[in-house]
Chains A and B, each alone.
Chain A
C-alpha cells in the first residue's frame, strides 16, 4: 500500500467530499512533502554531528561532548549562533545572483527527496523517470555554484565556482553511466521497482540480499567515486582548497546564507549515499523486510548512514587530489571503463546462453573494472605518499628531491 493512497483513504473515511478529490490529494501531498522536507533539516543536524565525531576520532580527539548526550545538541547551538550572525552583503556583489544562489543550492538538494524509496510504498513520487530526475537536479546545483561564484564578484569565489562546475560536469557522465547498469538489468527508471528487483527468493521467503552490488561491483565503485566528486567530498573537495581559494565559491557569504550552502553540501552527500543504497545496496530490502514492513525503512537508513560514515572516513584519511589529476581521472579512467562495462553488459546479457553464465560474464567484467579502478587510485595515492614523505624528511633525501609541481591549474 502506498502512503499517499492510505492517507487519501483516511481522509475519505473521515468524511471528505468526493468532489474535492484534487484538494484531498493536494493536502496529502502537502503533508508528505512537509514532513519529508523538515525531516531533512533534522537529518542535517545529525549528519553534521556524525561528521564531527568521526573526524575527531580519526584525529585522536573527542569532538563535541558538552551539550546534551554525546554532544548531540552542539549542532543546534551552532545553528543558533549562525542565526545570530550579521548578514553581510558586499557592496560590489550582484544582488540578484548573490541572494538567489544559497536558496537554489538547497532547493536542488531537497527536491531529490521526492524519489528516494525509504521503504515498500514509502516513496514521495515514484516517477517514471526517477533516475534521470535525480541527475537533472544536479544541474540546479551547478547553476547555484555559478551564480554564487559570479554574484559574489570576488576573484576567489569565481575561480572556485568555475572549478566546481568543471568538476561536477566531468563526474556527472561516469555517475549517470554507472546508474545505467542497474537500469539495464531491471528495464525501469522507477526507484521503487529498482529497489524491489533486488530481492532474493529462496522458496517463498525473500532474503532481500539480491543486491546489485554483488553482480555489478565495478559499476558501484564508479558510482561511489563519482558521487564523492558530485558531493564535493574528499578527495575531490577542491572547491575548498583553503591554501588556493580561501574558502570556495561561498567565501563572501555569512550567517544564514553560508549555512544554506553548508546544509546543501551535507544533505547532498547523504542523498548521494541514499541513491547508492537504492540502486546497488538493495534499498530497503533485507532479511525479513518482506514480513515486517517496519524493518524496510530501518534497513534503508542503516545502510545509508553506513555509506555516510564511510564517506567521512575517507574524508579523514585521504589527501586531496590536484585539479588536473582529478579532471583526467574522470575522463581518462572512469568514463572509458564505465562505457566498456555498459557495452559488455549490453552484449553479454543478450547472448543465447544460460542465464547464470551471462551473469557470471558480467560479474567477471565488473570485477576487472573494480580492480583496475582501485589500482589506478592506489598508485596515485602511493605516489602522493612518497611526495609527502620527501617534504617531511628532506635530509635523508638530499640530491633525490624533485621539484614539486605546485601549479594549481587555473
Chain B
C-alpha cells in the first residue's frame, strides 16, 4: 500500500520541477530592464500611501474558526461512512446525533448573526 504513496511522492517532485523550470526559463528568456518606477507597487499608477496593512474585519477570523470546526466534523464522518455497511441502526443514530449537535451550532451562529457579511 505504501508504494502507492511512492507515486504521489514522485508526482509531487515533478509537479515542483515543472513550474520552477518554467519560471526560470521565463526569467532568462525575458528582457531584464528593471527601473525603480517599474518595480514599485502597482496601484493603478497612483503612488502608494501608507503601508499595505489595512484594517481587516474580524469576520475573516470567524469564518476561519467556523471552518475549522466543520472540517473536524467532516474528518470524523468519513471513517463512519466507510464503516457504514456494518453499523447497527443504533450506531448510525449516534452518528446522526453527532451531526445534529453541530447543526445546532450552525443555527446558533446564524441566530447570533455570525454568518452575516455586512
Contacts and interface: CB of A to CB of B under 8 A. Distances in A.
B106 A336 contact: yes
Given A37-B14, A339-B103, A107 B66 contact: no
Contacts of A122: none
Specify the main secondary structure of chain B where it touches its partner.
helix
Contacts of A350: 87, 89, 92
Contact of B11 (A33, A83, A166, A327): A33
Interface string A314-358: 000000000110011001100110010011001101100000000
A302 interface: no
A83 B24 CA distance: 10
Given A324-B118, A327-B117, A106 B15 contact: yes
A99 B7 CA distance: 27
A255 B30 contact: yes
Q: What's the interface size class on A, roughly?
A: 35 or more
A327 B63 contact: yes
A170 B63 contact: yes
Nearest to A30: B10
Given A29-B6, A33-B14, A154-B42, A187 B19 contact: no
Interface string B70-94: 1100110110011111010100110
Contact of B30 (A85, A170, A327): A85
A263 B118 CA distance: 33
B115 A180 contact: no
Contacts of A328: 115-117
Contacts of A187: 81-85
Interface string A72-115: 00000000001111111111100000010011001100110110
A407 to B, nearest CB: 8
Given A155-B54, A158-B52, A252-B42, A127 B30 contact: no
User: Which residue, of A25, A124, A125, has the highest number of chain B Cβ atoms within 10 A?
Assistant: A125
Interface of A: 4, 25-26, 29-30, 32-34, 36-38, 41, 82-92, 99, 102-103, 106-107, 110-111, 113-114, 124-128, 131-133, 152-156, 158-159, 162, 165-166, 169-170, 172-173, 176-177, 180, 183-184, 187-189, 246, 251-252, 255-257, 259-260, 323-324, 327-328, 331-332, 335-336, 339, 342-343, 346-347, 349-350, 407, 409-410
18 contacts: A4-B7, A25-B6, A37-B15, A84-B30, A102-B23, A124-B11, A153-B41, A154-B43, A154-B52, A155-B43, A169-B64, A169-B67, A170-B67, A256-B26, A331-B66, A339-B103, A339-B106, A343-B100
